[in-house]
Structure 1
Amino acid sequence: MHKLGVTAALLAAIVAGGSTAHAADLAAGKAKAEICAGCHGENGISTTENIPSLAGQQDQFIQWQLVYFRAGSRKNEAMQPIVEQLSNEDIRNLGAYFASLAPPKSPPDNEADLSKKGAQAAMGRRCASCHTDSYAGTKGVARLTGQREEYLTKALREYKSGARFGGSGGAMTDVAYPLSDEEIVALAHYLAHL
């Protein structure tokens, strides 16, 4: 079976395991998340360049990303040794824990013209059709509002280049590929300051 197919099957099993019989344990998630704080910040709010905030992120989205890292279909040297140690239960607990936290507050927007260009790019690429009108995400789709601006820029560039893939069959690659770098910068600015 193709590596992505194996990853998808594993993910389905983990998420399905999150039913009432296997409800996530927030206290266990919080305890397991202590190692995450070194990069992703206290309470899941990153203060480190190019490291995303996890607080308020969608539960299933967190689970998917952890499975992708653990399966090796998403690569990051710092994440690899951590995710290799995570059980499916750990992944469910971490997803629930980070989703339960208050998301980061968006910084003040001092570049209204750049945000206007970013809003146009978001509308033109129909970002709200997956990420919702408030860009808070849903289920397996990432929360974008209030995310670190330079991280959003990095992620969009990775999707554009094909270095990173999304969980919905390459939708993000299709969306990001035609974006100019100017549009990527504007879009990241707009979303980070919502």
Structure 2
Amino acid sequence: MRSVLLGAMLIATMACGSSARAADPASGKEKAEICAGCHGENGISQTENIPSLAGQQDQFTQWQLVFFRGGARKSELMQPIAEQISNEDVRVLGAYFASLTPPKDTKPDDNPDLSKKGAEAAVGRRCASCHGDAFAGTKAVARLAGQREEYLVKALHDYKSGVRTGGAGAAMTDVAYPLSDEEITALSHYLAHL
């Protein structure tokens, strides 16, 4: 709880300072080189269970880095990296990834019936009320459209089981807990193909 509170205070401090000068996305390109090994060139992941960051909401990326750094979000890979980056790096990386073109699946949907079930699950769980009608996210809420399908499955299972916390963890746990495995699969397929 303490790390979440400290993270919230840090983000509030960063947000207040950001009104005076916005982070320069161009300066983030060099800082993001370390991220490319897992999250891919231009923030588009080619690695299973690793999310794409291109087009992700600036504040969402900042929050996640702070949660990793403070230990509220667990990852053996991300925590040591996040512990080494400054507050300015957090701001610059958020701006950089938000400035990139988000991933888009150019292949035709190989299972439109599954996407239809996923769309129904999204409506039933009111996903658009937080993630936006196009599922592009808003402010500190994640972009889901075009995200890696298997990563979305993993994230929903992590929220459902309580493995993933931090930020909107409580809201997402409430949404994910009642989802069946079939709904998680359908919802992930639908969102990945938007």
TM-score, normalising length from structure 2?
0.95
**How far 1:11 moved relative to its partner?**
1.8
Aligned to 1:89: 88
State the one-letter code of the partner of 1:168.
A
The size of the alignment, in residue pairs, is 193
1:1-194 equivalences under 5 Å are: 2-19=2-19, 21-106=20-105, 107-168=107-168, 170-194=170-194
* Percentage of pairs with the same residue: 74
State the one-letter code of the partner of 1:85.
Q
User: Do 1:69 and 1:75's aligned partners in 2 also have CA atoms closer than 8 Å?
Assistant: yes
**How far 1:26 moved relative to its partner?**
1.9
Distance change (3 Å), C-alpha of 1:54 and 1:68: same
Distance change (3 Å), C-alpha of 1:49 and 1:59: same
Q: Deviations over 1:74-131 (max 9, x none)?
A: 0111112211111110000000000000001124211011111101110000000000
**How far 1:15 moved relative to its partner?**
2.5
User: Do 2:132 and 2:138's aligned partners in 1 also have CA atoms closer than 8 Å?
Assistant: yes
RMSD: 1.2
1: CA distance between counterparts of 2:104 and 2:136? 12
State the one-letter code of the partner of 1:25.
D
State the one-letter code of the partner of 1:7.
G
User: Do 1:166 and 1:173's aligned partners in 2 also have CA atoms closer than 8 Å?
Assistant: no
User: What secondary structure is seen at the aligned counterpart in 2 of 1:22?
Assistant: coil
2: CA distance between counterparts of 1:54 and 1:44? 5
Q: Which runs of 5+ in 1 are unaligned?
A: none
2: CA distance between counterparts of 1:108 and 1:14? 41
- Give every structure 1 segment of 4 or more consecutive aligned residues whose post-TM-superposition deviation is greater than 6 Å: none
User: Do 2:67 and 2:166's aligned partners in 1 also have CA atoms closer than 8 Å?
Assistant: no
User: What secondary structure is seen at the aligned counterpart in 2 of 1:156?
Assistant: helix
State the one-letter code of the partner of 1:117.
K
**How far 1:166 moved relative to its partner?**
4.8
2: CA distance between counterparts of 1:142 and 1:33? 19
User: Do 2:159 and 2:169's aligned partners in 1 also have CA atoms closer than 8 Å?
Assistant: no
Distance change (3 Å), C-alpha of 1:57 and 1:135: same
TM-score, normalising length from structure 1?
0.95
User: Do 2:72 and 2:166's aligned partners in 1 also have CA atoms closer than 8 Å?
Assistant: no
Distance change (3 Å), C-alpha of 1:189 and 1:166: farther
Distance change (3 Å), C-alpha of 1:166 and 1:192: farther
